[in-house]
Amino acid sequence: MRTAKEREMGATWAPLGYKQTPLAFLRQTLAGHEIIADGMGAGDGDYSKVYYAAVRRDGEVVAYVMPFARQQGGIYWKDFCETSGPGFYTAPAKVMAALTPTDGEWANEWRAKVREQAGHNYGAGRLRDGMRVRFARPVWGEGVGQEFTARKAGRSWVFERTEGCRPYRLRSWTTVPWEVCA
């Protein structure tokens, strides 16, 4: 996990207005650009969610990628254009469909990785409270194991090790392939 100092490098923090949602705030940061399509995806690490927008720029429609998290009554976020090869690949299909073809090597590489992940359903849609799951690779740390029991905790999920330890909040579990244990 990154330290607070590392997390802040390159990130921007701003207070959210009264009843302002992170989505409304991020759309506002793109004021002056024509947003063709937008949507949310799962985040990773310090950024719990990612806002994706297909934006018209110089006659082309390109993707903007904005990982973010709420913190201390505000939001901290980073913003990337697909041409910089952002490391987040959970863009919604409607955003990807709105993009125009490009010759940019990094943009095409990013788009290919998004399409590759789009065929996988790693999210919470299939998950049920009490279900035992096995992740394809370690999601917590070496030696912790890959089998967990999923438990609903409010609006999110926690995972208990099959050995009966305290539950873990696995931040990037939606980006890792998992299967139901027999």
Separation between Cα atoms, residue 42 and residue 89, nearest integer Å: 9
Residue 97: phi and psi, rounded to 5, are: -70, -25
Check residue 80 and give its pLDDT. 93
Residue 63, classified by CB atoms within 10 Å of its CB into exposed (0-12), middle (13-18) or buried (19+), is buried
Q: What is the mean pLDDT of each run of 10 residues along the chain (182 residues)?
A: 46 89 92 92 78 93 93 89 89 93 94 81 73 78 71 83 72 74 73
- Which residue is listed with tokens 């110089």? 58
Q: Measured between alpha carbons, how far is 104 from 61 in angstroms, rounded to an integer?
A: 13
Phi, psi of 132 (to 5 degrees): -90, 130
Q: What's the pLDDT at 172?
A: 67
Domain boundaries, the chain: 4-118, 124-180
| Predicted local distance difference test score (pLDDT) of residue 3 | 39
Residue spans of beta strands (DSSP E) within 27-146: 34-44, 47-57, 60-71, 74-77, 80-81, 132-135
State the Cα–Cα distance between residues 13 and 142, nearest whole angstrom. Answer: 32
Amino acid identity, position 122: Y
pLDDT of residue 112: 92
Distance from the first to the final alpha carbon of the chain = 32
Distance CA 109, CA 90 (A): 14
